[in-house]
C-alpha cells in the first residue's frame, strides 16, 4: 500500500535540518501548506507555501494560540481515502487532502527545567501541534506524520529513495513514534501540574531505551529506559549489563553522600560496598579500600570522586574489575586502564539524580521518595555517659553513610575512615554483626577501637554486648526501640559510647 505524497503541511518550532526535506518536496511538486515562522523560513528558501489561513479563511488568533485548529485542516488529514463519503465531504467543502504532516511540539520540559515563570510554562503547552500529531498518526493508512526533528534524516532517506512514496509499514512506524512523543509530552504536563499535590496516578515516561544483553540472568530479557549519556561518557569497554547498571546505581548513590572535600575510593559487589576508604591520597584510598575485602573486590565496581592518576591506575590494573567510575582520568591513567579489553570505564558527569524511586510489586508499582538524608554531627545525640572523641565522631559519620547504602539487615564496622567489614542482607541484626566480625577477622583487622553502625535500632542489648566483647566501644544507631534503655544501660555499665541519629536507613 504505497502512497505518493502530493501535499504536505509543515509547521515546526525547531527548523534545524528541515531545509533538505523542504527542498526535496518542492522539487517533487508537492504542494506545501505552512504557518507563521515556518512559512517565513520556507519563503527564505524560495519555496512558496500556501498559508494555512488561505484554506481556513481565518487568521492566526489569540496570540498564535489558534492557527491550525480548523476542519479545513483536520478534514484533509483525517479523510479516509478509501471511504467514498469522506472524499465527497472534503470535496463539498473544498478541503484539500494532506498526505504528510511535519510538526513538532513547543519545548515544554525544557521550559520547566529552565526555571521559567508559570505563565511562560503554560504558553509552552502545545495544542495545535499535539492535535496534528494525533490526527495524522491516527490516519496512518493514508498519511505520514513526522513529529520530531530527530526523524528528519530518516524521512529524508525514505523520500529520496522512493520518489516521495511511503509504505504502510513506514507510515505505521512513524505513527508509533508520534504517539510515543505525544504520550510523553502529556505525561510531562500532568507531572508538572500534580507536583504540588498528592498525585492520584503515576505517569513515568522515557523516550529512549537500550536493549541489554539479558536481564539479571541469561534466560531473562532486559531493557534500560533512560539516557545514560546524560550521566556518563563511556570511554572504553563492553556494553553495560543489567547487573552492571544496578551496581553502578548503587556506587553513584554511595559516592554522592560523601563530601567533595573527602577523597574517597569505594569498591562494590552486588550493590553493597565491600571496600571503602577516605585518605589524603587516592593511591592510599585505593589500597585501603581493597584491603577491606580483596576477595569480593574481584569482578567488582570501582568508584571515586576525584581524578584517577597514573599511580592509582597502575595498582587498579592489577585487579580484574567490571567497571571503573571517576569524574576524570589523566591521559596516562586512562591508557593503563584501557589495557583490559572488556573493562568498562565511565567518566561521570555532574548531574542531579531523580528524587523518586519506583519498584514493581505484585500487580502494581511502589513509589517512594529517595532516602536523601545524610546524618551529620548535628543530628547525633549521645545517649551514654561516655562521649565520642573527635576521631570516633569521624568514624561514626563514615560508617553511618556506609550502613545507609548496605542491604538490610546490616551492621558496618569501621576504623580510621576505612570499612573493616559489613554484615549484609541478614534476617537478624545479630547475624549481620557476627558476619561482619567474622569477615573482619578473616582479613586480620584489629577490631579494638573500631566503631559499629546499624541501619535500624537494637531491640535488645545483645549486639552491643557482642561488639563490646570484640573491642568495639563506640556505636551509632537510629534508636527508637521501646527497649533502647536496655542498650544504653549496657553501654553505661561497660564504658561504651552510643550515639543515636533518630533516622532509620532500611534498604531492601
E strands along 173-309, which residues? Answer: 209-211, 223-225, 232-236, 264-269, 272-278, 300-304
Angle between helices 128-138 and 168-194 (to 10 degrees): 140
Find out whether 8 and 33 touch, Cβ atoms under 8 Å: yes
DSSP-derived 3-state class of residue 25: helix
Nearest to 414 by CA among 181, 423, 360: 423
Angle between helices 152-161 and 19-27 (to 10 degrees): 20
Question: Which three cell numbers mark 188?
Answer: 510531562
Question: Which three cell numbers mark 50?
Answer: 500556501
Which strands form 50-51's sheet, in the order they lie side by side?
50-51, 31-34, 7-11, 100-103, 144-146
Question: Which three cell numbers mark 313?
Answer: 591506575
Nearest to 300 by CA among 265, 252, 267: 267
Say if residue 381 is exposed, middle or buried (CB neighbours under 10 Å; 0-12, 13-18, 19+). Answer: exposed
Q: If you search the block for the grid coordinates 516521495, which residue do you land on?
A: 164
Find out whether 3 and 140 touch, Cβ atoms under 8 Å: no
DSSP-derived 3-state class of residue 288: helix
Find out whether 279 and 258 touch, Cβ atoms under 8 Å: no
Q: If you search the block for the grid coordinates 548535628, which residue do you land on?
A: 378
Whole-Å CA distances, 433 to 292, 388, 422, 437, 476:
16, 21, 8, 6, 13
Determine which one of 31, 270, 287, 386 is catalytic. 270
Find out whether 329 and 351 touch, Cβ atoms under 8 Å: no
Whole-Å CA distances, 162 to 2, 3, 170:
10, 10, 12
Q: CA-based angle 395:396:402, to the nearest 5?
A: 90
Other C-beta atoms lying within 10 Å of the C-beta of residue 28: 15
Determine which one of 31, 70, 138, 287 is catalytic. 138
Q: How many helices (H) and strands (E) does the chain have?
A: 18, 23
Residue 138 known to be catalytic = yes
Q: Give the span between the Cα atoms of 289 and 329, in whole angstroms.
A: 19
Q: CA-based angle 279:284:287, to the nearest 5?
A: 125
Q: Give the span between the Cα atoms of 372 and 388, in whole angstroms.
A: 25
Question: Which three cell numbers mark 125?
Answer: 503547552
Question: Which three cell numbers mark 433?
Answer: 554483626
Q: Give the span between the Cα atoms of 302 and 267, in whole angstroms.
A: 5
Q: Which residues are catalytic?
A: 138, 270
Amino acid at each position: 500500500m504505497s502512497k505518493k505524497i502530493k501535499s504536505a503541511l509543515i509547521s515546526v518550532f525547531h527548523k534545524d535540518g528541515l531545509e533538505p526535506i523542504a527542498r526535496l518536496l518542492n522539487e517533487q511538486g508537492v504542494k506545501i501548506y505552512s504557518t507563521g515562522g515556518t512559512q517565513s523560513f520556507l519563503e527564505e528558501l524560495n519555496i512558496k507555501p500556501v498559508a494555512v489561513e488561505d484554506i481556513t479563511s481565518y487568521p492566526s488568533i489569540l496570540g498564535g494560540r489558534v492557527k491550525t485548529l480548523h476542519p479545513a485542516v483536520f478534514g484533509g488529514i483525517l479523510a479516509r481515502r478509501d471511504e467514498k463519503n469522506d472524499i465527497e465531504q472534503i470535496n463539498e467543502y473544498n478541503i484539500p487532502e494532506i498526505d504528510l504532516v511535519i510538526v513538532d511540539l513547543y519545548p515544554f520540559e525544557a521550559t520547566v527545567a529552565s526555571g521559567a515563570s508559570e505563565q511562560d510554562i503554560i504558553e509552552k503547552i502545545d495544542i495545535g501541534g499535539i492535535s496534528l500529531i494525533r490526527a495524522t498518526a491516527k490516519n496512518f493508512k493514508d498519511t505520514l506524520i513526522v513529529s520530531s526533528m530527530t526523524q528528519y534524516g530518516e524521512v529524508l532517506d525514505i523520500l529520496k529513495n522512493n520518489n516521495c512514496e511511503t509504505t504502510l509499514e513506514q507510515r505505521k512506524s512513524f505513527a508509533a513514534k508520534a504517539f510515543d512523543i505525544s504520550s510523553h509530552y502529556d505525561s510531562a504536563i500532568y507531572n508538572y501540574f500534580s507536583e504540588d499535590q498528592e498525585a492520584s496516578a503515576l505517569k513515568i515516561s522515557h523516550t529512549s531505551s537500550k536493549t541489554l544483553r539479558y536481564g539479571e540472568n541469561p534466560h531473562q530479557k532486559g531493557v534500560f529506559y533512560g539516557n545514560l549519556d546524560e550521566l556518563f561518557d563511556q570511554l572504553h569497554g563492553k556494553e553495560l549489563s543489567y547487573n552492571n547498571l544496578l551496581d553502578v546505581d548503587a556506587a553513584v548513590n554511595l559516592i554522592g553522600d560523601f563530601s567533595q572535600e573527602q577523597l574517597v575510593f569505594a569498591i562494590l559487589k552486588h550493590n553493597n560496598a565491600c571496600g571503602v576508604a577516605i585518605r589524603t591520597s587516592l593511591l592510599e584510598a585505593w589500597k585501603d579500600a581493597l584491603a577491606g575485602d580483596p576477595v569480593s573486590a574481584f569482578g567488582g565496581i570501582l568508584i571515586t570522586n576525584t581524578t584517577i592518576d597514573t599511580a592509582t591506575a597502575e595498582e587498579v590494573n592489577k585487579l580484574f574489575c567490571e567497571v571503573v567510575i571517576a569524574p576524570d582520568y589523566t591521559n596516562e591513567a586512562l591508557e593503563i586502564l584501557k589495557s583490559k579489553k572488556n573493562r568498562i570505564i565511565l567518566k561521570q558527569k555532574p548531574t542531579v539524580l531523580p528524587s523518586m524511586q519506583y519498584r514493581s510489586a505484585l500487580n502494581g508499582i511502589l513509589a517512594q521518595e529517595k532516602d536523601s538524608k545524610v546524618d551529620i554531627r548535628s543530628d547525633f545525640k549521645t545517649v551514654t555517659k561516655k562521649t565520642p572523641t573527635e576521631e570516633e565522631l569521624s568514624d561514626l559519620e563514615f560508617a553511618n553513610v556506609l550502613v545507609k547504602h548496605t542491604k538490610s539487615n546490616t551492621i558496618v564496622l569501621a576504623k580510621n575512615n576505612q570499612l573493616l567489614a559489613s554484615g549484609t542482607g541478614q534476617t537478624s541484626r545479630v547475624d549481620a554483626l557476627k558476619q561482619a566480625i567474622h569477615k573482619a577477622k578473616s582479613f586480620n583487622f584489629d577490631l579494638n577501637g573500631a566503631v559499629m553502625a546499624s541501619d535500624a535500632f537494637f531491640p535488645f542489648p545483645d549486639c552491643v554486648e557482642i561488639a563490646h566483647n570484640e573491642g568495639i566501644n563506640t556505636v551509632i544507631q537510629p534508636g527508637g526501640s521501646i527497649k533502647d534503655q536496655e542498650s544504653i544501660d549496657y553501654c553505661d555499665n561497660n564504658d561504651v559510647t552510643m550515639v543515636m541519629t533518630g533516622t532509620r536507613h532500611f534498604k531492601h
